[in-house]
Amino acid sequence: MAPPNDRKRRIQDTENSAATKSHDPDGGIARTAKKAKVEDGRSIFVRSLPPGVTNESLTDFFSQYFAVKHATVVVDQETKESRGFGFVSFADADDARDAKAALDKKEWDGRRIRIEVAEPRQRNADEASKRPGKGREAFQRPSTKLIIRNLPWSIKTSEQLSKLFLSYGKVIYSDLPQNKGKLKGFGFVTIRGRPNAEKALEAVNGKIVDGRPLAVDWAVDKATWDKQQNTENGEKDSQDDEDEAEDEKEDKDDMKLLDEVDEEKETQKPKRELMTDNSSTVFVRNLPFTATDEQLKSFFGHFGNVRYARVVMDKATDRPAGTGFVCFVDTADAKTCIIDAPRRAPPTAGGVKHSILQDENADPTGKYTMDGRVLQVAQAVGKNEAANLAENSLAQRRQKDKRHLYLLSEGAIGGNSPLRGLLTDAEVRMRSMSAQQRKKLVEKNPMLHISLTRLALRNIPNDIGAKELKELARKAVVEFAKDVKEGRRQPLSKEENARDGKDAKDKEKDRKQKRKGIVKQAKIVFEDNKGSKVSESSGAGKSRGYGFIEYTSHRHALMGLRYLNGHQLDGNNGRKQRLIVEFAIENAQVVKRRQEAEKTARKPKKDGDADASEHEEDEDEEVPEQKKKKQKGKKPKGNMNKGPQVGTKAKPPKEGDVDEKKKPADAKEAIQQKLIARKRQVRKKKAVARGKA
């Protein structure tokens, strides 16, 4: 048995030969490991990997820091075990260099990984001619990759693009390049066989699709494209969109800048295109929360050979989410698994509800029962389609939520957020207590709901007034839009933009025509020395440190909340405070009274009516004002002298009321006569006094 040091030295030499394959085309590792793809300047060689690392886990590890195109762990073909090293390709050469600088010697599961920038093998013509088999054919084989320009915007997925070429041959790979989620207007298609590709080019080139003539041509690599551009234009061209897409989405069959291991099986074509094909993958629901990847793979093994199985983990709790994916080697096995899977029972008529207990007859064969749970199996879909389905499902659930309770979590700062590290312990406790109190409030009182447009702010500096708060609310929406444009923030989703309703655009247009601002109200709550609420205009109170902002639309409210939440403000005492912003909790009855007050305020004003802005005040403050107005309107005209008022004589009572009202009327009339006589005497005395003087 060889000493441990000699064994380590041999492993190190093997890894070094794999990393420098461009200088050693006949490396011995080529006969025992899986093919790995190395792209010029954009790939790294990673060694000292922890045992058990797979292609997926290697991709996940580096995806936390950079955009990864693909990753490959080199495995032994006989034992199928990892050799302890692999390759990772990035979308940009800068990412590869940054990954080496940032992650070299980083600890991963107890091991410090080592990273080097991988160099592609550069074979000359003589070496290529000497090597038999597929290595020679790869460089001599004519390309079957086409570029399609001037695509209509109705073609939004690679599947739609593939349908245009299916009648001319098998489509191996298709892609629609995007820039920040937006299509670039062109795509790539790889067809099996040069004759089929030539037929497709002749037939589809110039074809009118949705009013646009398609332009189809042979796709070339980036170096050839740059050379052609320099020859035709006589100038250097920077990387345009098509160059970048060609560089990023090069056909995996045309690129042979790999560490070509396993020379014995070089005649077999690597089916890398299956990575984007979901036809052999199934999505599994109702998994036991104790299930692991190995158990899931073993369970579905009786349906056919399983390529891999993954249990989905909840990102928030880092625990199994009860769902998973199983990828079969053969597509037919996946289809059989889906077809034979038990289906949910349809809803019964008459509103009869099903039992919550497990239906023992749902899976009579027991093939789909795992730890007493009947699994639900469906065809897996692509990432974009899954996102659309999830968004539509979420929108439907939220439409049924009339109280908008899903907005309770808006404004919460998670433990993984960078902003969490900037909060003080007091601010963290304040946010935690607020979340608990708000949840209890809405659970106890069904009349409470979450406002779509009104925000509640706390931890406001004492020197901030309503005017400054309103200006800050306007600025928040503008700054949020700037951050989105510059890529510092995620934009609002389609579902979030659709919450304002179908007439949102008309309302926004009407608002702009009337030249109204996006902030409807900004208010700071003040109190006097006794702790009672007072208005800010009185000037006799001090701020309680909280207030409200009401926007004209939910879209603007979301933008304002996400910018202001955690936003730091400096007080006049030099103290720095970060705002706590949440959607306000409102009472349905109070909102109804407020809306009625707004309607009243819009009507033409009469004598004694207050300004239309009075509806912005709290309901408790509006009621006394209305009472005062009524009292002023009832003040009688006539005798303005001091002393008790003397009214006119009472009208004669009706016949039926004579007996009941005769005595009170006589007594009142007698008092009035006495008062009149007394006033006359006073006037006479004054007149006599003036005459004597």
DSSP string, 251-286: -TTT---EE---GGGTTSPP-GGGGG--TTEEEEES
DSSP for 348-372, written as a single string: PGGGPPPPSS--TTS-TT-TTEETT
pLDDT reported for residue 675: 86
Same domain? For 64 and 168 the reply is no
CA distances from 131 to 121, 123, 137, 266 (A): 14, 10, 10, 11
Residue 237 clears pLDDT 70, i.e. is over it = no
pLDDT reported for residue 664: 54
Same domain? For 175 and 91 the reply is no
Higher pLDDT, 79 or 584: 584
Higher pLDDT, 686 or 349: 686
- Structurally, the chain folds into a number of domains equal to 4
- Whats the size of the chain, residue-wise? 693
pLDDT reported for residue 4: 46
* pTM confidence score: 0.40
Percent of the chain's residues with pLDDT above 90: 13
Strand order in the sheet with 306-313: 306-313, 320-328, 281-285, 376-379
Same domain? For 522 and 408 the reply is yes
Higher pLDDT, 579 or 222: 579
Handedness of CA 509, 511, 515, 517 (dihedral sign): negative
DSSP for 131-152, written as a single string: S-THHHHHHHSPP-EEEEES--
The pair phi, psi for residue 147, each rounded to 5°, is -110, 130
CA distance 576 to 568: 7
Residue 31 clears pLDDT 70, i.e. is over it = no
Let me know if residue 73 belongs to a domain: yes
Let me know if residue 70 belongs to a domain: yes
pLDDT reported for residue 394: 62
Residue 457 clears pLDDT 60, i.e. is over it = yes
Same domain? For 611 and 573 the reply is no
The pair phi, psi for residue 377, each rounded to 5°, is -115, 135
Residue 478 clears pLDDT 90, i.e. is over it = yes
Same domain? For 620 and 580 the reply is no
Give the residue from 126, 160, 182 where a domain finishes.
126
Instruction: Count each helix (H run) and each strand (E run) in the chain, helices first.
Output: 20, 29
Among residues 36, 572, 596, the alpha carbon closest in space to that of 272 is found at 36
Same domain? For 418 and 548 the reply is yes
Same domain? For 417 and 549 the reply is yes
pLDDT reported for residue 390: 67
Give the residue from 253, 278, 299 where a domain finishes.
253
Domain hosting 219: range is 142-253
pLDDT reported for residue 225: 60
Give the residue from 93, 126, 159 where a domain finishes.
126
Let me know if residue 372 belongs to a domain: no
Strand order in the sheet with 171-175: 171-175, 187-191, 145-149, 215-218
Let me know if residue 376 belongs to a domain: no
Same domain? For 480 and 552 the reply is yes
Same domain? For 160 and 122 the reply is no
Let me know if residue 492 belongs to a domain: yes
Same domain? For 472 and 549 the reply is yes
Residue 610 clears pLDDT 80, i.e. is over it = no
Let me know if residue 643 belongs to a domain: no
Let me know if residue 109 belongs to a domain: yes
Non-local (6+) Cβ contacts of 330 within 8 A are 280, 304, 305
pLDDT reported for residue 447: 87
Let me know if residue 352 belongs to a domain: no
CATH number, domain containing residue 214:
3.30.70.330
Rounded to an integer, the average pLDDT of 70-84 is 84
Same domain? For 107 and 218 the reply is no
Same domain? For 40 and 166 the reply is no
The pLDDT mean for the chain works out to 74
CA distance 658 to 684: 38
